[in-house]
A = this chain, B = another copy of it.
Amino acid sequence: MIKTLTGTTDFIESLRGKKASFMLALSNTKTANIEGITQAGIPGMIHLTPTLDSEFLCTGEVRSLDNIAKTPKGVPTPALMTRGMHLLSPFGRIELLDLGLEVKPKISYFKLHSFDIEPSESIAKGADIDAKRLFEKGVNFGQSYICKDEYIILGESVPSGTTTATATALGLGYKVDGYFSSSFKNVPSSIKQDTLKSALSNIENRDDIFAILGKVGDNMLIFNAGFILGLNNRVPLVLAGGTQMACVLLVVDKILELMGGTIETSNLALCTTKWVAKDENSDIEALLNLPKFSINSYYADFDFSLSDHPALKLYDKGEAKEGVGAGGALMYGFLNGVSKEQITDEVERFLG
Count A-side interface residues using an 8 Å CB cutoff: 30
* Distance in angstroms between the alpha carbons of A87 and B336 in the assembled complex: 7
| Contact (Cβ within 8 A) A58 B91 | no
Residues on B with beta carbons closer than 8 Å to the beta carbon of A336? 90
How many copies, total? 2
| Contact (Cβ within 8 A) B90 A335 | yes
CB-CB contacts below 8 Å: A67-94 with B: 86-93
* Distance in angstroms between the alpha carbons of A16 and B90 in the assembled complex: 6
| Contact (Cβ within 8 A) A337 B13 | no
Q: Does A285 contact B (CB under 8 A)?
A: no
| Contact (Cβ within 8 A) B61 A9 | yes
| Contact (Cβ within 8 A) A13 B60 | yes
Given contacts A18-B93, A93-B18, contact A88 B13 (CB under 8 A): no
| Contact (Cβ within 8 A) B91 A10 | no
Residues on B with beta carbons closer than 8 Å to the beta carbon of A91? 16-17
Which stretch from A28-36, A106-114, A138-146 is at the chain B interface? Answer: A106-114
Q: Which residue of B lies closest to A336 (CB)?
A: B90
Interface mask (A1-39 → B, CB under 8 Å = 1, otherwise 0): 000000011110110111100000000000000000000
Q: Which residue of B lies closest to A89 (CB)?
A: B337
From the candidates B88, B90, B93, B109, name the one contacting A11 in the complex (CB within 8 A). B109
| Contact (Cβ within 8 A) B93 A9 | no
Residues on B with beta carbons closer than 8 Å to the beta carbon of A266? 109
Task: Give 12 CB contacts A-B under 8 Å.
Answer: A10-B108, A10-B109, A11-B108, A13-B109, A13-B110, A14-B109, A14-B110, A16-B87, A18-B90, A18-B92, A90-B336, A90-B337
Known: A9-B59, A10-B109, A17-B93. 20 other contacts (CB 8 A): A10-B58, A10-B107, A10-B110, A11-B108, A13-B59, A13-B60, A13-B109, A13-B110, A14-B109, A14-B110, A16-B86, A17-B19, A17-B86, A17-B90, A17-B91, A17-B92, A18-B93, A88-B337, A90-B335, A90-B337
